[in-house]
Amino acid sequence: MEIDGVHLTYCTNIHPGQKWKTHFDELKKHLPEIKAQVAPEQKMGIGLRVSHHMSLDLMDERTLNEFRDWLDEHDLYVFTLNGFPYGNFHHAVIKDEVHKPDWTIPERFEYTIRLFDILASLLPDDLQ
């Protein structure tokens, strides 16, 4: 949702899931109701949490297109990603080791590049 040129967003960090299907099921369950309460008459922005495993799932074109279609259907848009939690964000100890591996490890660097690709694919045309 945009207010005076600033995007107000709902961050999906609160929703569990390390694999995309689990996280997307949570989003489908909760986001339409949240949007109906917060921004029923306008598009609403999402800050999408994308774990390492989710990023691999979202590199599948069909999976990404399904999500993009769902966003359009519900008048939602992604304009920012949370890629800080590479692994499990919902450990028994909250945020325990969420920063590992760090960016000196090639897998973390590759994950970060995937996040850029995913965001570029999801950004609305007017935000690119």
pLDDT, one tens digit per residue, over 31-74 is 999 999 999 999 999 999 999 999 999 999 999 999 999 999 99
Q: For the chain, what is the mean pLDDT?
A: 87
- Number of domains the chain is built from: 1
Return d(Cα 24, Cα 20) in angstroms, integer.
6
Q: Which structural domain, as residue segments, surrounds residue 24?
A: 2-127
Question: Of 33-42, 44-53, 102-111, 113-122, where does mean pLDDT reach its minimum?
Answer: 102-111
pTM given for the model:
0.85
Which amino acid is residue 75, in one-letter code? D
How many angstroms separate the Cα of 59 from the Cα of each of 11, 33, 116, 119, 120? 21, 28, 11, 11, 12
